[in-house]
Structure 1
Amino acid sequence: MPVIRTPGIVCTVRRHGEHGAVVRLLTPDHGLQSGYVRGGRSTALRPVLMPANLVTAELRSRVNDQLAGLTVELAESRAPFYSEPLVAAAFEWVTLLTATVAPEDQPFSRLYAALAALLDLVCAAPSARWWLRAMVRYEALLLAELGFGLDLERCAVTGGREDLTYVSPRTGRAVSLHAAGVYAEKLLVLPAFMTDDEEPDWEQLMQGFALTGHFIERQFFSDRRADALAARAMLIDRVRRMVG
């Protein structure tokens, strides 16, 4: 692998040895990249290697199958926002999700742009309701980028575009209110903000998380990686506590 110099979003940091760390970054042109940071657990580097931070990275490796050596410089710190429990849970979940399910060395420019925008919004939005909508949409985008996109444009039964109210938990396709009939209770609710620019209320946001969460769990976390969903459960729990 040649030397890669790139901006990157820190996604996960795993201790390696006594002082080092294995770091996974999402980059705009090279996708998810892993590298070993010498001294990554040091006092100087721990504030740099926090999930959601933006860094300038350089990855070097002698051979293609060897873990790259990674050096980083802090470009933008989001450490101050970790003092807010809901924001901290959001950072932890969205970065862990990305690092866990995205394949390495495959460019996902749309995903990088969306994650960067989402993290900026989490830090800048006056209300969590603004960025929670963006997080649901990010989860839906990630599903689509990895080949499991939801089909929310037409009713799976009639082909129409009106009154799309539900989603099939099996196919991920939208279903209209009329077509759902007696099967409505077995379907997932499709909140309006998933298909237009309507501002969601708290109930609709939770419906959005239930929708994307169903497919995220089924497609990505049905095996040994299921423990990662604990970070999502923490986020949802903190949202519910805030709403009351």
Structure 2
Amino acid sequence: MQWTGEGIILATRKLGETSVILEVMTRDRGRHLGVVRGGRSRKMQAALQPGNEVGLVWRARIDDQLGTFTVEPQVMRAASLMTSPTGVYGIQTLAALLHLLPERDPHPQLFDGLETLLEHLNAPQLAGPLMVHFELQLLADLGFGLDLGECAATGTTAELIYVSPKSGRAVCREAGQPYADRLLALPAFLRGRDHHTELRRADRADIVDAFSLTGYFLHRYVYEPRSLDASPAREGFVDAVKRALAAS
């Protein structure tokens, strides 16, 4: 068995004295693992850093084996990501989120979102909203998508300012006002059906509300059923974005 493609490095772990197990995200084959022989050499260690994009050849005798990777560096982003808190925490957060996916299950929209985020992680004003959109897409790909396009109670698309914690659907101001203390805030940059296609700027308050929203549903639908905790890097990323927005 063999395939050739491109992938973004998420993580490595040691295997024996000279090799590593490489975890990558690919567009067509999802999250994929393989052994890199000699991956602990000084030359290879520089290439096998999270965030770098590499050309890959995967080989195995049968399809369900771990297999081996031959790696060719293409886009070396890791060094630049280490220059900012949002870059450092961001790549760790993304790797932890993608680790929630089944192996070898294609998620092309998440791959595209990952590429876009990696290009903007050092710009907190963009990285914050992009990460929120990434978490929303992850929830959708795992079968827990939120419906933020119209009010769950009235069907209106106007004044959507709440989200029901039970249904994950938007609620308008009029319908939600009597229950405001039990509803989640829907930040302005996520309102409407086009929230996933139009990147809108968000202020500090919106970012806090947005990560509270996605964090609530990640905990409810993903982490709690699997007896997992969110990666500490996520909190570090959110704090870094908030500090940057407060200073701007």
Give the TM-score normalised by structure 1.
Answer: 0.91
Within the alignment, does 1:138 sit opposite 2:137 as a pair?
no
Structure 1 residues not aligned, in runs of 5+ = none
Q: Which residue of 2 aligns with 1:215?
A: 217
Q: Does 1:154 align with 2:150?
A: yes
Question: 1:97 matched to which residue of 2?
Answer: 97
**CA distance in 1: counterparts of 2:146 and 2:92, whole angstroms:** 24
1:179 CA drift (Å) = 0.8
Aligned residue for 1:217, secondary structure, equals: helix
**What is the alpha-carbon distance in structure 1 between the residues aligned to residue 163 and residue 22 of structure 2?**
37
Q: Is the 8 A contact 2:128 2:238 kept in 1?
A: no
Distance 1:134 1:241 in 2: 17
How many residues of Structure 1 are paired with residues of Structure 2 in the alignment?
239
Query: Does the C-alpha gap of structure 1 residues 225 and 10 become closer, same or farther in structure 2, counting only changes over 3 Å?
Result: farther
State how far apart, in whole Å, the 1-side matches of 2:151 and 2:77 are: 41
- Which residue of the partner structure matches residue 19 of structure 1? 18
Distance 1:168 1:76 in 2: 41
Deviations 1:48-76 (A, max 9, x none): 11111111011111122321111211110
Task: Provide the secondary structure at the position in 1 that maps to 2:41.
Answer: coil
What is the distance in 1 between the residues matched to 2:171 and 2:226?
A: 32
Give the whole-Å Cα distance in 2 for the aligned partners of 1:43 and 1:91. Answer: 22
| Equivalent residue, structure 2, for 1:200 | 202
Residue range with higher mean Cα deviation, 221-230 or 110-119? 221-230
- Opposite residue 50 of structure 2, the aligned amino acid is P
Give the 5 Å matches for 1:156-235. Answer: 156-195=152-191, 196=195, 197=198, 198-222=200-224, 226-235=228-237
AA matched with 2:186: L
Deviation, 1:117, is: 1.4
User: Could you list the runs of 4 or more consecutive aligned residues of structure 1 that deviate by over 6 angstroms after TM superposition?
Assistant: none
Partner of 1:117: 116
3-state secondary structure, aligned to 2:228: helix
- Counterpart of 2:170, as a letter, is A
Deviations 1:113-147 (A, max 9, x none): 12111211225xxx411221111111111111221
Counting aligned pairs with the same residue, the percent is 37
Residue 21 of structure 2 aligns to a residue in which SS? strand
Larger mean CA deviation between 134-143 and 188-197 belongs to: 188-197
Deviation of 1:84 after TM superposition, in Å, equals 1.7
Counterpart AA for 2:88: A
Taking a change above 3 Å as real, the CA distance of residues 47 and 223 of structure 1, as seen in their structure-2 partners, is farther
Does the CA-based 8 Å contact 1:221-1:229 persist in structure 2?
no
Alignment-derived partner of residue 241 in structure 2: 239
Q: What is the alpha-carbon distance in structure 2 between the residues aligned to residue 27 and residue 175 of structure 1?
A: 36
- Quick one: structure 1 residues 189 and 236, their matched pair in 2 at CA, closer, same or farther if it must change by over 3 Å? same
Change (3 A) 1:105 1:9: same
Q: CA deviation at 1:217?
A: 2.0
Tell whether the 8 Å contact from 2:150 to 2:156 is kept in structure 1 after alignment. Answer: yes
The CA deviation at 1:238 is 2.6
- Per the alignment, residue 58 of structure 2 pairs with 59
Would the alpha carbon gap of residues 36 and 228 (structure 1) be closer, same or farther in structure 2, given more than 3 Å must change? farther
* TM-score, reference length from structure 2: 0.89
How much has 1:39 moved relative to structure 2?
2.2
